[in-house]
């Protein structure tokens, strides 16, 4: 905006500089009335307070993705070529650049740019989803989402077009297509391995060889606590790659130990989960024992159990999620592992005695086995912690307690 001179504006408008200052008096801002003039100017060229809807580019995405078939490289390059040609002709991209450069970040023109990006992103997401379904239900490597890919693709296209305006020789017509193919080939999980984006460039950080020769593999400095280092490393790898895509070699490399040593400490990934979550079981068990010794009522003990369990599950979510995944596949492919977790991490067992005590006192219903009540209560705590990721431990516990302890029947007479 510093390059815009008021004298030039006034001369172009056929008025005096004083007339300009009368219309746009100097304010407290350093730019004086010029900032207000620029804001109004940008707003005036944005009909209705928003950039002109760029239906052509969204239609282009939708049509190309909808007809996607055969070699993905061909229709991706075809789409990119059409998008490149269109973006070089249309005016929305330069207009967005000018609004970004000159408009106030919270003014109507800036908000209009945000709204247009929302429209473009939604159109590309819908088109991508249709294309992926047409091609057999493709998925994306973690942590990418359809929205993230849409933003990356449109930002890539827009950025190259802007660069081409000032440096056309560096942006050949094929660059957008080649870049889109490179991006999607890394992001789209064509083999359905459910792995992480890091695996697309695994050669840059090759994990230790998956061997059993017992030799060190270049580990010069060992962690002070190898077991905890492995647990911490596994939590990170599970979160980034997904449980089933995480190899022990990945964990060993991140933990800073050799693979044979890791296998001596933890023969399987389930052993790591059990070791990492066992302290939670012990901590909650001690709390319950103390509550029972000091004479708290069964209802209060169950409430406190729910809150403490929620806190610890949220704190250790990276290990809790793979535990829940293994348990959910009990009948499909992980029966031995699921049984192991149930035996060693049986959180419902902590409150079975409390519920039995409550039934004896007439506080809890006696027509449901204590173990069933304990499992239902604990599973609801765990499921809510994993599904309601924006809730605090207090909110999780309060919601489950409200239904489980108080029930949903308001008037018995209506039963």
CATH classification at residue 306? 1.10.357.10
Q: Do residues 244 and 280 share a domain? A: no
**3 state SS of 135:** coil
Q: 19-33, 51-65, 74-88, 129-143 — which is least confidently predicted?
A: 51-65
On whether residue 36 sits in a domain, the answer given is: no
The 10 Å CB-count burial string (b at 16+, else e) for 153-173 is bbebbbebbbebeeeeeebee
Cα–Cα distance for residue pair 293/317, rounded to 1 Å: 30
On whether residue 92 sits in a domain, the answer given is: yes
Cα–Cα distance for residue pair 165/96, rounded to 1 Å: 14
Q: Do residues 148 and 243 share a domain? A: no
Q: Do residues 312 and 259 share a domain? A: no
Q: Do residues 91 and 106 share a domain? A: yes
Choose between 370 and 130: higher pLDDT: 370
For the chain, percent of residues with pLDDT exceeding 70: 63
pLDDT reading at 51 higher than 70:
no
Q: Do residues 57 and 136 share a domain? A: yes
Kindly report the CATH number assigned to the domain that includes residue 88: 1.10.357
pLDDT reading at 331 higher than 60:
no
Closest alpha carbon to 87 in 151, 155, 146: 155
- Contact present, 196 and 142 (Cβ < 8 Å): yes
On whether residue 81 sits in a domain, the answer given is: yes
Q: Do residues 275 and 369 share a domain? A: yes
Q: Do residues 240 and 288 share a domain? A: no
Kindly report the CATH number assigned to the domain that includes residue 258: 1.10.10
Output the pTM of the full model: 0.53
Q: Do residues 334 and 311 share a domain? A: yes
- Contact present, 312 and 280 (Cβ < 8 Å): yes
Q: Do residues 276 and 331 share a domain? A: yes
Cα–Cα distance for residue pair 150/100, rounded to 1 Å: 20
Domain span at residue 54 reads 45-189
pLDDT reading at 352 higher than 90:
yes
On whether residue 17 sits in a domain, the answer given is: no
pLDDT 10s digits, 217-268: 455 578 889 999 999 999 999 988 888 888 888 899 899 998 889 999 998 8
Q: Do residues 230 and 345 share a domain? A: no
On whether residue 2 sits in a domain, the answer given is: no
Cα–Cα distance for residue pair 335/324, rounded to 1 Å: 13
Cα–Cα distance for residue pair 362/233, rounded to 1 Å: 47
Residue 20: HSE in the Cβ half-sphere, 13 Å Cα cutoff:
20
Q: Do residues 107 and 236 share a domain? A: no
The token pair that represents 220 in the structure block: 């010069």
Domain count for the chain: 3
On whether residue 18 sits in a domain, the answer given is: no
Mean pLDDT value of segment 100-109: 66
Domain boundary among 156, 189, 222: 189
- Contact present, 79 and 180 (Cβ < 8 Å): yes
Report which DSSP code applies to 170. G
Cα–Cα distance for residue pair 72/191, rounded to 1 Å: 14
pLDDT 10s digits, 205-215: 444 444 444 44
Domain boundary among 220, 240, 267: 267
pLDDT of residue 115: 78
Cα first-last separation, the chain: 72
User: Regarding beta strands 188-189 and 139-140, do their DSSP bridges make them parallel or antiparallel, or are they unpaired?
Assistant: antiparallel
On whether residue 154 sits in a domain, the answer given is: yes
Total residue count of the chain as it appears in this document: 415
Q: What is the dihedral of CA 373, 376, 379, 384, to 10 degrees?
A: -120
Closest alpha carbon to 114 in 126, 124, 100: 100
Q: Do residues 376 and 294 share a domain? A: yes
Domain boundary among 242, 267, 292: 267
**3 state SS of 71:** coil
On whether residue 38 sits in a domain, the answer given is: no
């Amino acid at each position: 905006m510093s390059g815009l001179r008021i004298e030039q504006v006034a001369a172009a408008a056929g008025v005096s500089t004083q007339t300009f200052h009368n219309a746009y008096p100097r304010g407290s801002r350093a730019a004086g009335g010029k900032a207000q003039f620029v804001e109004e100017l940008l707003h005036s060229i944005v009909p209705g307070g928003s950039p002109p809807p760029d239906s052509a580019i969204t239609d282009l995405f939708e049509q190309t993705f909808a007809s996607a078939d055969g070699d993905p490289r061909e229709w991706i390059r075809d789409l990119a070529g059409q998008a490149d040609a269109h973006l070089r002709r249309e005016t929305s991209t330069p207009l967005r650049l000018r609004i970004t450069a000159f408009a106030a970040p919270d003014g109507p023109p800036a908000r209009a740019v945000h709204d247009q990006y929302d429209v473009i992103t939604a159109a590309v997401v819908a088109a991508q989803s249709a294309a992926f379904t047409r091609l057999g239900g493709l998925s994306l490597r973690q942590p990418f989402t359809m929205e993230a890919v849409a933003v990356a693709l449109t930002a890539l296209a827009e950025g190259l077009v802007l660069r081409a305006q000032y440096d056309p020789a560096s942006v050949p017509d094929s660059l957008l297509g080649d870049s889109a193919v490179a991006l999607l080939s890394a992001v789209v999980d064509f083999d359905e391995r459910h792995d992480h984006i890091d695996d697309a460039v695994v050669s840059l950080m090759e994990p230790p060889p998956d061997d059993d020769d017992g030799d060190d593999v270049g580990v010069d400095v060992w962690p002070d606590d190898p077991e905890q280092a492995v647990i911490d490393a596994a939590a990170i790898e599970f979160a980034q790659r997904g449980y089933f895509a995480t190899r022990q070699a990945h964990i060993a490399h991140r933990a800073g130990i050799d693979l044979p040593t890791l296998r001596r400490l933890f023969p399987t990934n389930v052993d790591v989960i059990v070791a990492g979550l066992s302290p939670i079981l012990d901590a909650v068990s001690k709390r319950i024992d103390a509550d029972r010794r000091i004479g708290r009522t069964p209802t209060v003990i169950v409430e406190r159990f729910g809150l403490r369990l929620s806190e610890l599950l949220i704190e250790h979510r990276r290990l809790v999620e793979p535990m829940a995944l293994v348990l959910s596949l009990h009948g499909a492919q992980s029966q031995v592992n699921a049984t192991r977790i149930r035996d060693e991490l049986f959180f419902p067992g902590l409150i079975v005695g409390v519920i039995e005590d409550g039934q004896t006192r007439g506080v809890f219903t006696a027509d449901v086995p204590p173990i069933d009540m304990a499992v239902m209560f604990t599973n609801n705590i765990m499921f809510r912690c994993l599904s309601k990721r924006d809730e605090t431990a207090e909110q999780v516990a309060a919601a489950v307690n409200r239904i489980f302890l108080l029930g949903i029947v308001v008037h018995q007479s209506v039963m």
